[in-house]
Amino acid sequence: MEEELQLLTREARSALESVADGEGLESLRVSYLGRKGRITALIRSVGALPAEDRPRMGQAANRLKKELELEFEKAEGRLREAAERRKTSREAVDVTLPGLALSRGRRHPITATLEEVIDIFSGLGFALESGPEIETEYYNFDALNMPADHPARDMQDTLYLEDGRVLRTHTSPVQIRTMEKTEPPLRMICAGKAFRADTADASHSPMFHQLEGLMVDRVVSLADLKGVLTVFARRLFGEETRLRFRPSFFPFTEPSAEVDISCVVCSGTGCSLCSRRGWLEILGAGMVDPEVFRAVGYDPEEWTGFAFGMGIERIAMLKHGIDDIRLFYDNDLRFLHQF
């Protein structure tokens, strides 16, 4: 019997080695270890042995059965792994193929720049206001200390409507409208389209975007203006940015300044972008002219204020190195998709 047992085990082992799939393995298991299996039958026949042989033979038979069960498990693992390998190799992909063409639309660069600038001033406590694009001459000029026949009106070629109103030449009327409805102190910005009778070329556009700011309080000075604009320029163009204030003239501010930043390309050493000057003009600013305060009923002895304004196209052009303002309004998707 012992011999028979050994023989069966050897036979089962060699069969296991050559088994190719789960099905074969299962039928082997049934034929050896199943209820009617050959090993099972053998173990059952131990009972028929003489009593003195039974314990020894029983133990031997059970040990062999255990060993065989272990072998079956191993074989099963082997077969699973092989199947897994076959499956993954079937599913292998060419990882060098391009990914799917997912896309997301792009914000217009003007909007993106506007949003960025608005965020900076929002963080400084400036409330966003808005106003109409068609304005009366009063809001666009007179209230801003530009009476009729003032030479400063020539600085802005105005587009007139048949009803005598104008397409606003700047967003400054919003400052007037805001002051009219608000008691000082106040901090506001406004942003939007403005229009001039300019033929479009690389640096002019009959329509463009402006962002302006105004702060009125009891003691607001040119130094405060400088501080606010320094924070702004460094947030927008980087911490290393230097600012330069140049005296200038605007009818609605006095003193007035034009503000330059150190060139975004050469940092001031001189390059073609800044025409070798090292500086780029980015905005106009100044202390609110007392005449403007009078127009809105603020007492210029009690209140002082600063105002500033910038062209968003100019800022976007400097930020991205865009050399032609018309690109913003061509809306060529190849342009829009770059931002």
- Which residues in the 210-249 window bind other proteins by CB under 8 A? 215, 217, 219-224, 226-228, 230-231, 243-249
- Taking the least distance from each CB to other proteins, the nearer of 51 and 97 is 97
Residues 112-171 that bind other proteins (CB under 8 A): 115, 118, 122-123, 125-130, 132-134, 149-152, 154-155, 159-163, 165, 167
Looking at residue 246, its amino acid is R
- Taking the least distance from each CB to other proteins, the nearer of 48 and 93 is 93
107 is a site residue for other proteins (CB under 8 A): yes
Q: Please, what is the minimum distance in Å from the beta carbon of residue 307 to other proteins? A: 13
Write out the two tokens for 187: 């901090």
Looking at residue 112, its amino acid is A
> What is the contact mask toward other proteins in residues 245 to 274, using x (rule: CB under 8 A)?
xxxxx----xxxxx----------------
Tally of CB atoms within 10 A around 339 = 16
Q: Please answer whether residues 317 and 332 qualify as being in contact, where contact means their C-beta atoms are separated by less than 8 angstroms.
A: no
Candidate segments 47-55, 57-65, 72-80, 324-332, binder of other proteins by CB under 8 A: 324-332
Size of the site for other proteins (CB under 8 A): 88
Q: Please answer whether residues 259 and 273 qualify as being in contact, where contact means their C-beta atoms are separated by less than 8 angstroms.
A: no
Write out the two tokens for 192: 């939007």
Residues 274-313 that bind other proteins (CB under 8 A): 275, 287, 289-290, 304
Q: Please, what is the minimum distance in Å from the beta carbon of residue 148 to other proteins? A: 9
What is the distance between the alpha carbons of residues 40 and 61, in angstroms, rounded to a whole number? 9
Cα pseudo-dihedral 102, 326, 203, 112, rounded to 10: -30
Q: Please, what is the minimum distance in Å from the beta carbon of residue 163 to other proteins? A: 4
1 is a site residue for other proteins (CB under 8 A): no
110 is a site residue for other proteins (CB under 8 A): yes
Strand order in the sheet with 127-129: 127-129, 186-195, 207-217, 304-311, 279-288, 253-262, 243-250
Q: Please, what is the minimum distance in Å from the beta carbon of residue 323 to other proteins? A: 19
- Taking the least distance from each CB to other proteins, the nearer of 15 and 118 is 118
- Taking the least distance from each CB to other proteins, the nearer of 68 and 229 is 229
Write out the two tokens for 144: 């801003």
- Taking the least distance from each CB to other proteins, the nearer of 31 and 230 is 230
Residues 34-93 that bind other proteins (CB under 8 A): none
* 276 phi-psi bin (left φ>0, alpha ψ -120 to 50, beta other): left
Candidate segments 12-20, 35-43, 76-84, 325-333, binder of other proteins by CB under 8 A: 325-333
What is the distance between the alpha carbons of residues 186 and 174, in angstroms, rounded to a whole number? 13
Strand bridging mode 243-250 / 253-262: antiparallel
Q: Hey, which residues does 280 pair with through a beta bridge?
A: 261
Q: Please, what is the minimum distance in Å from the beta carbon of residue 131 to other proteins? A: 10
